[in-house]
Structure 1
């Protein structure tokens, strides 16, 4: 499981909440001059996930106005890009940095640079701001120094198409599935986020040469794995269908997975088994029949599921479920 830290004003007395949240935003994002019309009882929550020096966090907060001023920049500058995807139903955000001035709504994202003054604020005071954010050092991005990133700052970018859509999907997947990764996966996950943001910038600017082959291959593999995660329940998801969906040959698909010591079919099988194992060890699902769990994750044959599960975990699904029930049963 990836380590996460939850920061929530609900754990404090009402009079302490806004100061706590302002300090939290200054620490996680960068020092900000922040105000709100609800400072007497402010509600904000984030779940912070550290991927080395890249921070990913879903956030919900009441209406606010924030300014990054020249004085605050001189005081402290992490030299980061801050990106935020706005969720459906959330207040659109008015964003301004340099020549970029825009209102970013649901299905969009914006990017600002901590080394330049900017403002971000809610446009609807009765709605919460909700979204997914990333803090990433500028030095992490594989971009030439001449890349005109300034042209993107403060602008609304798509979070449903192209690299913006892929980035939003990946961040959502990380937040929902952080418990399925190990701490040893952190360097690779940080590299994936860096590659996607680099791709977003290059695609939007249409600047310079295309991504180097290694970056392009990693991005394609990420898109394939995300497609697999979203379709694990589909028993018909075979390598040919996966390759066709991504407009590549099955040979190319096998080569991508071979570089990581596995095959497409083995990866699909492992992820299905891991999802099934999670359900079998979930006390809330103790009454769900084992064959229903197997079918839920794409196994059409109960015998095949039992055999495959036993080979992978060294014990049968029935024994796993029985052990869970024994653990839950109170001692006499």
Structure 2
């Protein structure tokens, strides 16, 4: 994000691959103008009105990926319009998926009109006139924007335009995976190197393409790699949801997804771990998180192990020690001691585990 990079010394905070900018460090009288300029440079030029211009507040957290960008916005209510003149002057030729978290949004583009509440999603384009009303319900607007370059979206040219400003279900198919992907992306990006972040970006584009293709009834038009990526995402989500099931094995996973066990193993051939290793690693990670969480101190180590699918204490202890270098009881003792010391130093701190009249501004 070019403007965000330029302003990061004054308004932004660079934290690895996730960049945060905020109006907090901008003089109050300049905040609205600064926000409009930032949106014009980083999303697209628009004309903005806000009844809150004099007391405007806004924040953006952005994750830049090779083929996409995901940004989390929180700002005072306003309206935004994009005109044909602004499109002719500057068009990044991109689609945006918007996922709403806070106050409702009314979105108009082409022949579509979408009234979106928390949890709803829709698509808009930088290449068509747009009207967007971020409704004032007495609280900040909160949303996620995922930018997708038109040239990289693996759908026939112009097909996605049929979905502009049309509500997209987030409760079925690939859309059920896209929401958690977007929510977990900042943490995942922080924990990943450049190569893994590139992979995360490809997964996001494939999931978004699958959501749009599913709505268009064009799943078969997606490239084989995109379909493979989406299937892997579904399998990984299934594994995460069933880690506590002792019957979670490759055969059960394959049967649930209507594929053979051989196909399942082939899907994981290029992954860092095999299917069985993936299940074991994620179970151990959940156990480690519980052992270092003071809110789980009422559970015994055996109970925590069983909660995540380990029903033989000796096997769990051996696997845990192999993964972390120390037995589970030592990890728990160290975590409890650390939290006790933290509480003594700062008793008020929570214990944690280790782990008016509208103002108009126009851009363009």
Q: Which range, TM-score by smaller chain? A: 0.7 to 0.9
**Partner residue, 1:128:** 140
Residue 9 of structure 1 contacts residue 21 of structure 1 at CA under 8 Å; is this kept in 2?
yes
Q: Superposed, which structure 2 residues align to 1:229-248 within 5 Å?
A: 229-248=240-259
Residue 107 of structure 1 contacts residue 160 of structure 1 at CA under 8 Å; is this kept in 2?
no
TM-score scaled by length of structure 1: 0.83
C-alpha spacing 1:208/1:320, structure 2 compared with 1 (3 Å): closer
Q: Does 1:141 align with 2:144?
A: no
**Partner residue, 2:31:** 17
C-alpha spacing 1:324/1:107, structure 2 compared with 1 (3 Å): closer
**Partner residue, 2:62:** 48
SS of 1:83's partner is strand
Q: Residue 39 of structure 1 is aligned with which of 27, 50, 53?
A: 53
Residue 155 of structure 2 contacts residue 221 of structure 2 at CA under 8 Å; is this kept in 1?
no
Q: Superposed, which structure 2 residues align to 1:72-221 within 5 Å?
A: 72-87=86-101, 90-145=102-157, 147-175=158-186, 177-207=188-218, 209-221=220-232
Q: CA deviation at 1:223?
A: 0.8
Considering Cα pairs closer than 8 Å and 6+ residues apart, tell me whether 1 or 2 has the greater RCO: 2
Q: CA deviation at 1:81?
A: 1.0
**Partner residue, 1:258:** 269
Q: Which moved more, 1:123-132 or 1:36-45?
A: 123-132
1: CA distance, partners of 2:296 / 2:168 = 44
1:215-248: CA deviation from partner (whole Å, max 9, x where unpaired): 2122101111122223334444333332333233
Residue 77 of structure 1 contacts residue 114 of structure 1 at CA under 8 Å; is this kept in 2?
yes
Q: CA deviation at 1:64?
A: 1.4
1:20-46: CA deviation from partner (whole Å, max 9, x where unpaired): 332332233222222211112223333
C-alpha spacing 1:99/1:241, structure 2 compared with 1 (3 Å): same
Structure 2 stretches lacking a partner, 5+ long: 1-14, 343-364
Residue 2 of structure 1 contacts residue 181 of structure 1 at CA under 8 Å; is this kept in 2?
no
2: CA distance, partners of 1:278 / 1:307 = 17
Residue 64 of structure 1 contacts residue 121 of structure 1 at CA under 8 Å; is this kept in 2?
yes
Residue 93 of structure 1 contacts residue 123 of structure 1 at CA under 8 Å; is this kept in 2?
yes
1: CA distance, partners of 2:281 / 2:24 = 39
SS of 2:225's partner is helix
Q: CA deviation at 1:261?
A: 5.6
TM-score scaled by length of structure 2: 0.77
2: CA distance, partners of 1:276 / 1:7 = 35
1: CA distance, partners of 2:137 / 2:299 = 48
RMSD of the alignment, in Å? 3.1
Tell me how many residue pairs correspond in the alignment.
Answer: 326
C-alpha spacing 1:297/1:10, structure 2 compared with 1 (3 Å): farther
C-alpha spacing 1:275/1:116, structure 2 compared with 1 (3 Å): same
1: CA distance, partners of 2:289 / 2:193 = 15
**Partner residue, 2:362:** none
Residue 2 of structure 1 contacts residue 183 of structure 1 at CA under 8 Å; is this kept in 2?
no
C-alpha spacing 1:254/1:209, structure 2 compared with 1 (3 Å): closer
1:86-143: CA deviation from partner (whole Å, max 9, x where unpaired): 23xx332111122222322333211111122212112444343223220121122122
2: CA distance, partners of 1:244 / 1:173 = 27
C-alpha spacing 1:278/1:192, structure 2 compared with 1 (3 Å): same
Q: Which moved more, 1:301-310 or 1:111-120?
A: 301-310
